[in-house]
Chains A and B, each alone.
Chain A
Amino acid sequence: MPQLQASPDIDFHSDTYRDAYSRINGIVIEGEQEAHENYIRLAEMLPNHKDDLLRLSKMEARHRKGFEACARNLSVTPDLGFASQFFASLHENFQVAASENKVAACLVIQSLIIECFAIAAYNIYIPVADDFARKITEGVVKDEYSHLNFGEVWLKDNFEATKEEVEAANRQNLPIVWRMLNEVEKDAKVLNMEKEALVEDFMIQYGEALSNIGFTTRDIMKMSAYGLVAA
């Protein structure tokens, strides 16, 4: 039997770590900012859920502040330029879907894809985070589950009417997620987060969400792996 290697001790203050952290933390801050804005936009699109969505949006703003504090704690300046590039495609797709009033597509992008991505990444980060960031991230990830749940419930209630829009949004956006993961693979590795584990956790969370919405195992296996191999 081969051996399981013990995780190496991480030097959170080394230049290498802080350099990689500046990009990963930038992405996280930008991601929370996107989420904040997306929920405000969704609140306009879904007036019946306005209060809920504005509450989620406020939580996202709090998350951003928490992660900004994590950067300060390690004396890191987040690379926000890199981060907004990183999110450009998803950002663009959300804006287009919103302008066409495609609620389901917007929820797929924000409440399923971005939230599942965040949940996967935060869960994998927590065991290898510095003490300060761990506490903050643990608090955040709990909130993200409730955001995912919002999307699941709405898409479940409107399953038949929006199924095709969900599938189309999946086809359009999932390949972007794989590309994004590839872009951060190296930096994530420095933080002791492995791409394979990130992809697996994302697929688990995303598959679970699709299942709660009403998709079958067969649909889920197709949808959650869509475009992965090409990436």
Chain B
Amino acid sequence: MFGLIGHLTSLEHAQLVARDLGYPEYADQGLDFWCMAPPQIVDSITVTSATGQVIHGKYVESCFLPEMLATQRVKSATRKIINAMAHAQKHGIDITALGGFSSIIFENFNLERITRVRDIDLDIRRFTTGNTHTAYIICRQIEQASQQLGLDLAKSTVAVCGATGDIGSAVCRWLDARTDVDELLLVARNQTRLQDLQAELGRGKIMALEEALSLADIVVWVASMPKGVEIDPTTLKQTCLMIDGGYPKNLATKIQAPGVHILSGGIVEHSLDIDWKIMNIVNMDTPSRQLFACFAEAMLLEFEQWHTNFSWGRNQITVEKMEKIGQSSVRHGFRPLLLPPLT
């Protein structure tokens, strides 16, 4: 059995969802309540592979909300993640993806030092960040959506916002090794980590966001921001592909400029319908088929019976591992989400 640990994008979103699902005692509550709320299994899932194989899974709502980070309620945030993990393990789930902020919180606050939760010894081999598959899917989105727009990668500048992150650094490695991208722009705040990444890649220009935005043909958004940023579309290139892989989204602005194309990043489409309720809730366009690539990674590990923390730690994703999970992704019928056909 596979598991998915997820959370909602804001308090407002959480209240709306609770009301929709018919949990009024959760719907009317403020952040204080969510800080005390326990994890819950709120969905059971059946997935069929393109090969015909059928697997089952559960969705664990951690009750974490990004506002907990924005308001310094770090202890609550870390409790949500650890408790959701213990909950998944206690329910016998073999491999669980830590979606959205879950893995980021786990890493940033060194939660690996917590090995015992109440009467449970946490077995981290049962968890995956899902970032290898996410990075792979984003790279395939860059390759394929650029083609849709007639952008030649060999002549394109790609900016990666959140380049030093787990997903961002993997994307940079792939773009460097597997594509002939002309120029890589590396955007993040911490300069030391940026310089380390630049040294590892042996290329790439470290740049502030505003400047990078004005130069890039393609912008990959994989920064961990509790709230999205506002950008001014007039500073962008005439034709520009924006792949927003943030959860919550990195882009707060709904950009409506003719040449600017926005694509949800790290999203896959399955070739068969999935029986679940939960993707309605996170506002997917086609909820029965579209899902986060990190969740799909847990499904792939279950299909393959690779019950191991395939993606773990920080900045250790190799191109080889991306390829391995990528092959599995194709085999079982997942495809990267692309732009709607251009008219």
Contact = CB atoms under 8 A, between A and B. Distances in A.
Given A1-B69, A4-B75, A228 B83 contact: no
A196 B25 contact: no
Interface stretch (A30-38, A46-54, A76-84, A219-227): A219-227
A200 B79 contact: yes
Interface string A75-109: 00000000000000000000000000000000000
Contacts of A203: 36-38
A61 interface: no
A197 interface: yes
Contact of B36 (A199, A218, A221, A222): A199
B35 A217 contact: no
B230 to A, nearest CB: 21
Given A123-B118, A228-B33, A221 B40 contact: yes
Interface string B76-87: 101100010001
A4 B74 contact: yes
Interface in A184-207: 194, 196-197, 199-201, 203-205, 207
Nearest to A207: B38
A145 interface: yes
A68 B118 CA distance: 24
B26 interface: yes
Which residue among A200, A203, A218 has the maximum number of chain B CB atoms within 10 Å of its CB?
A200
Given A4-B109, A228-B33, A229-B33, A217 B25 contact: no
Contact of B40 (A196, A200, A217, A229): A217
B83 A204 contact: yes
Interface string B57-84: 0000000000001001011101100010
A2 interface: yes
Contacts, number: 69
A119 B119 CA distance: 10
B41 A217 contact: yes
Contacts of B104: 1
A225 B32 CA distance: 13
A123 B119 CA distance: 9
B161 to A, nearest CB: 16
B26 A225 contact: yes
A3 interface: yes
A72 B69 CA distance: 41
Interface of A is mostly: helix
Contacts of B69: 1-2
A224 B119 contact: no
A204 B75 contact: no
Nearest to A200: B36
B82 to A, nearest CB: 11
B39 interface: yes
B38 A229 contact: no
Nearest to B70: A2
A119 B42 CA distance: 25
Given A1-B69, A4-B78, A196-B76, A228 B23 contact: no
B191 interface: no
A200 B74 contact: no
Contacts of B33: 225, 228-229
Contacts of A145: 119
Contacts of B32: 196
Nearest to A124: B118
Given A1-B108, A145-B119, A200-B37, A229 B29 contact: yes
Given A200-B37, A207-B38, A194 B118 contact: no
A224 B38 contact: yes
Given A196-B76, A204-B39, A205-B118, 5 more contacts: A4-B75, A196-B36, A196-B75, A200-B79, A229-B25
12 contacts: A1-B69, A4-B75, A196-B75, A197-B79, A200-B37, A204-B38, A221-B25, A222-B23, A222-B25, A224-B38, A229-B25, A229-B28
